[in-house]
Structure 1
Amino acid sequence: MKLGLQLGYWGAGPMTEAPALVRAAEEAGFDSVFTAESWGSDAYTPLAWWGAATSRVRLGTAVAQLSARPPTSLAMAALTLDHLSGGRHIIGLGVSGPQVVEGWYGQPFGKPLARTREYVQIVRDVLAREAAVTSDGPHYRLPLPADTAGATGLGKPLKPITHPLRADIPIWLGAEGPRNVAQTAEIADGWLAIFFSPRMAGQYNEWLDEGFARPGARRTREDFEVAATVQCVITDDVAAALDRYRPSTALYVGGMGAEEKNFHADLYRRMGYGAVVDEVTRLFLSGRKAEAVAAVPDEMVRETMLLGTADQVRAQIGDWEAAGVTTLMVTARDIPTIEALGTFVDGV
């Protein structure tokens, strides 16, 4: 088991404590540091800025959104950061959801699995630098066909000017549903799991095994990373911690995504919280946010957290490792928690 620090994306402003947290994570033996993006701060700029002060930890995006950059642009950012960090970059990708993809990026959300597969292949082709990069699409055509509206017909296949430091920069994919997780096991080097529950490990393993069994699968279970994002609170006051994180759970299942398509809500339904999800969604979308938060039960919040006394958290980490997690991506926001975690995990 390895430890990663998940810094996420910014709220209204920069995360002023991030440099100290990153420094503490590296000193505590953490394996990696990750940033994210939604529709505010981007993933790569903070990762490069904060990562410049590190020397050992791997630097990952969890996740960079597919629709934010063409695959060749993502590959450019990745090979650049990999050079600057001395080969420490992890590419973490995700499709996001239709509200963001169509509302913020102005692109169609349809066929997310096919888009992901095509995107990953183009990124790998750029990093391999074996030939000029082409793609027959249908989602990312390279070069752009001459008969495309507005095209000049002058585009030609290219390969990167800069030689990538590593042709095999790891690519981890964020995935929540069974088909997406299975495809992740087939084509990627790791799975970025959100709202992971050790109780559901059997189901997750079925999805992963389906992908590993496909012809041409890139990895086996033995060399595949399962990186789970988890909130960690070491405390004697469990009730207060649950109340602190309850609004976030309500937001993700009730207000993060459209009522007709919310992948986080679907995930919690698979966990057995279907009635709660329906009620929270109804209240949240009707503007009754306080009632939506109150409708989230303690166990729904606690199931995806590391929470309790130091001894309890240490025991919970063992449960997550037994469930197949290879990297705990903790969202700790204070140095004492980071330092304590460094003493809980073998090998750190």
Structure 2
Amino acid sequence: MTAELKLGINVGYWQRDADDQTDTVLAAERCGYDSVFTAEAYGSDAFTPLTWYAARTSRIKLGTAVAQISARTPAATAMHALTLDALSGGRVILGLGASGPQVVEGWYGQPFPKPLARTREYLGIVRQVWRRDAPVTSAGPHYPLPLPGGAGLGKPLKSIVHPVRADIPVYLGAEGPKNVALAAEIAQGWLPLFVDPAQIEPVFGTSLADRPDGFEIAATVVTIVTDDLPAALEFAKIPVAFYIGGMGARQRNFHLDMIGRLGYAEEAARVQDLFLAGRRDEAIRAVPDELADAISLLGPIGRIKERLQLWRDSPVTTVLIAGVRDEPTLRAIKNIADS
């Protein structure tokens, strides 16, 4: 159980045809929300919108959920984070994730195998950059520094900028038990997606057993405040179907596996089949109502209050509200969370 459940917002991917979400971020800050998180897949990046919001706010924490490790070298990610952390007065939370083989190899042109080992090595370099204890080196094998071969002139270097914080918080986006265990071992937090609060302990209790004191679990939760619960359920199913069907290969889809761990393996396979067959509307309808409801906050504000208690009773420390953009609704949710 979480003693004090914090609220943040996840504004997701920046889209060219979408309204700027500065107003939403400012509203969240006024309402006392703890953090705002941005995302990236294979379009917009996570850091640029976050910098945009950082320049217009003064208190709210600034997180990436998640920056993909194959998108940037460890040193480049460390530079992004330390720069934004300094400009924002020490408000950055670096959320990192390995993504999946379709994106890593198809978009970034990087090898996907051994994602846990790559993540561990990657984060080790990032923290070397921030600490500035010595010139940065790494024995590899995934990110050797200096690079073997090449011109033969690589030199270990130390950041010319002294970070505001040498211990910027790092959260890992993870869905598999081993990856969640890695987050508990080497990071300050975990960023789960599509998680049922009532099943966190049964599914991930072993992975989280050795997490340190103060370990954060910041769960993104689709939230729709409305009197029309059936309509809210249909809307909440859209991202589930998209991630099961379109954000991973048929042979390897971590989101599908995650839904399977929640007890919906057959249903998830059906959703994937329909989505990959081009029958997307049917795929969305095939997402079980009880699944969409369990991983979301849906319905009238009174029902949201009841459902929020499930998250308060779980190990989750922060609920990242996704999908709410207007200040009155953000304030109403904050009020029930504080009550």
Q: CA deviation at 1:334?
A: 2.7
Distance 1:141 1:190 in 2: 26
Alignment-derived partner of residue 156 in structure 1 = 155
Contact preservation (8 Å) 1:233, 1:337:
no
Measured against aligned partners, the alpha-carbon deviations of 1:102-128 in whole angstroms (never above 9, x if no partner) come to 110001110000000001111111100
1:106 to 109, 113, 119: 109
- Classify the secondary structure of the residue corresponding to 1:273: helix
Distance 1:302 1:17 in 2: 28
Aligned pair 1:237/2:240, yes or no? no
- Classify the secondary structure of the residue corresponding to 2:95: strand
Measured against aligned partners, the alpha-carbon deviations of 1:1-50 in whole angstroms (never above 9, x if no partner) come to 11111011123x15424010001000000011111100111000110011
Which amino acid in 2 is paired with 1:154?
A: L
Judging changes above 3 Å, is the alpha-carbon distance between structure 1 residues 244 and 171 closer, same or farther for their aligned structure 2 residues? same
2:6 to 2, 26, 30: 2
Residues paired across the two proteins, number: 333
Q: How does 1:1-348 map to 2 (within 5 A)?
A: 1-11=5-15, 13=16, 15-146=18-149, 151-202=150-201, 203-209=203-209, 212=210, 220=212, 222-331=213-322, 332-346=324-338
Measured against aligned partners, the alpha-carbon deviations of 1:164-205 in whole angstroms (never above 9, x if no partner) come to 110000000000000000011000000001011012122222
Q: CA deviation at 1:279?
A: 1.1
Which amino acid in 2 is paired with 1:304?
A: I
Structure 1: gaps spanning 5 or more residues: 213-218
Distance 1:96 1:71 in 2: 15
RMSD between aligned residues: 1.2
Q: Percent identity of the aligned residues?
A: 55
Contact preservation (8 Å) 2:132, 2:158:
yes
Between 83-92 and 297-306, report the one with greater CA deviation.
Answer: 297-306
Measured against aligned partners, the alpha-carbon deviations of 1:187-228 in whole angstroms (never above 9, x if no partner) come to 00000010110121222222111xx2xxxxxx51x3100000
Which amino acid in 2 is paired with 1:284?
A: F
Q: CA deviation at 1:290?
A: 2.0
Distance 1:310 1:10 in 2: 28
- Classify the secondary structure of the residue corresponding to 1:135: coil
Q: TM-score, normalised by structure 2?
A: 0.96
Distance 1:195 1:294 in 2: 17
Measured against aligned partners, the alpha-carbon deviations of 1:254-294 in whole angstroms (never above 9, x if no partner) come to 22210000000000011111111111111111222222222
Q: CA deviation at 1:98?
A: 0.7
Contact preservation (8 Å) 1:283, 1:292:
yes
Which amino acid in 1 is paired with 2:65?
A: A
Q: TM-score, normalised by structure 1?
A: 0.93
Distance 1:334 1:195 in 2: 23
Distance 2:41 2:48 in 1: 14
- Classify the secondary structure of the residue corresponding to 1:49: helix
Measured against aligned partners, the alpha-carbon deviations of 1:46-65 in whole angstroms (never above 9, x if no partner) come to 10011111010111111000
Which amino acid in 2 is paired with 1:7?
A: V
Distance 1:60 1:248 in 2: 21
Judging changes above 3 Å, is the alpha-carbon distance between structure 1 residues 14 and 129 closer, same or farther for their aligned structure 2 residues? farther
Structure 2: gaps spanning 5 or more residues: none
Contact preservation (8 Å) 2:198, 2:310:
no
Which amino acid in 2 is paired with 1:344?
A: I
Contact preservation (8 Å) 1:182, 1:208:
yes
